[in-house]
Structure 1
Amino acid sequence: MSHRRKHVHALANELAVTLEDGDVVCRVTAVCGANLVEVERGDDDAGGTTLVRVPNKFKKLAWFRAGTHVVARFVDARELEGRDDVKVTGELRRVLYAEQVKEMRRRDDGTWPKAFESEERGTGCALRELAGALEEDEARARATARDGGEARDGSADEDDDEGSDDGLPPLVANRNRRRVRTYVDSDESSDSD
């Protein structure tokens, strides 16, 4: 394993994250290309976004998207005074994974920014939430079928097919597949053989 890869893997596997002077916990708001990321600073009360350069050592080793927490080091604001041509104001130091974020929140030593405290903890995956909603719908359908098609309030249940598609877009034909045509031969002599 190369020297670069070894150190990036060590950063990812380290559970206790220690921040050096000048390091700031940020949240990625947009990925702007191969080596630029737009982040929202955790120590900034204004809630503005800024661009951060992603070093080459993270190339093909660390993946992140909008909502991912990272540690970045920024250029001193006094150095940027009066310069409007500077858009990239920092450099990404490490990507924080779920276990590391959980550990930083649990420690309560001031490393986790108060700006990100209002986020819901442990929301999980959107697919899990969708799967949970589908399981609830199936459980309701089974309960309705067990009760003989009557709703719990005693009134007859309406057709489930009409109400189940509320808010969903119509299905579109899949044009990536060939249409299979089947021909039915109504020759009765082949049936007798």
Structure 2
Amino acid sequence: MSQATKRKYVIRELLEEFVVPTDNQQIVKVTRGCGNNLHEVVTDQGGAGFLVSMPTKFRKNVWIKRGDYVVVEPIEEGDKVKAEITAILRRDHIRHLKQNELWPHGFADETACPEKTDGRETDGQTEEEEEEEDSDSEEDDEDDYSDLFVNTNHSNNYCGDDDDDDDDDDDDE
């Protein structure tokens, strides 16, 4: 399988499949990246963090940053590394888990998803305007990949003809 094909399947799995943790899996929060595809995480109970490893299918295809939530499965053979990442959770995954009441209570206050509630401030908008915004945002959510990590280390260079160069040649004549 080529690298591009592998990336396509991994991204599709990340975007489309909603993961529900099994009995031996748990949801943890990434506190820092330690290098060599290792990340330090904490559970919803807090306490000391532990290391988890990223499986090879995610390496160079998906990036995890501090504050992201992942599903991990414990491994027995590790002394320092206690678990392996099985799934990376995005905003829509978190929303799905909260709706099904599977989200850990320790993380409940940290992930305030903008849900429509009766007690929220309206910022001077009427209910009709809010409903229009909600319907517009639902249509945009399907194609919104803004929460995916973008590598800012690479610049997007534009290679095109500049009209300014042609003007300078005309001035010289």
**Do these two structures clear the TM 0.5 threshold for a shared fold by scoring above it?**
yes
TM-score (norm 2): 0.57
Q: Which stretches in structure 1 are left out of the alignment for 5+ residues?
A: 81-85, 124-193
1:138-189 CA distance string (max 9 Å, x none): xxxxxxxxxxxxxxxxxxxxxxxxxxxxxxxxxxxxxxxxxxxxxxxxxxxx
| Match of residue 25, structure 2, among 10, 17, 23 | 23
Q: Relative to structure 1, is the Cα distance of residues 32 and 102 closer, same or farther in structure 2, using a 3 angstrom cutoff?
A: same
Q: Determine whether 1:122 maps to 2:120.
A: no
Q: Determine whether 1:112 maps to 2:103.
A: yes
How many angstroms apart in 2 are the aligned matches of 1:41 and 1:121? 18
How many angstroms apart in 2 are the aligned matches of 1:65 and 1:47? 20
Higher strand content, 1 or 2:
2
Cα drift, residue 51 of structure 1: 0.1
CA contact (8 A) 2:19 2:87 kept: no
Pairing 1:1-193 to 2, within 5 Å after superposition:
4-14=6-16, 16-42=18-44, 45-75=45-75, 86-108=79-101, 111-122=102-113
How many angstroms apart in 2 are the aligned matches of 1:121 and 1:16? 19
CA contact (8 A) 1:8 1:61 kept: yes
Please state whether the residue corresponding to 1:47 is helix, strand or coil: strand
TM-score (norm 1): 0.51
CA contact (8 A) 1:15 1:99 kept: no
CA contact (8 A) 1:38 1:50 kept: yes
Identity of matched residues, %:
30
Amino acid at match of 1:28: V
Please state whether the residue corresponding to 1:21 is helix, strand or coil: coil
Larger Rg: 1
CA contact (8 A) 1:28 1:65 kept: yes
Runs of 4+ aligned structure 1 residues displaced above 6 Å come to none
| Count of residues in Structure 1 that have an aligned counterpart in Structure 2 | 112
Amino acid at match of 2:40: E
Please state whether the residue corresponding to 2:19 is helix, strand or coil: coil
1:52-83 CA distance string (max 9 Å, x none): 0111111121111110000110136xx88xxx
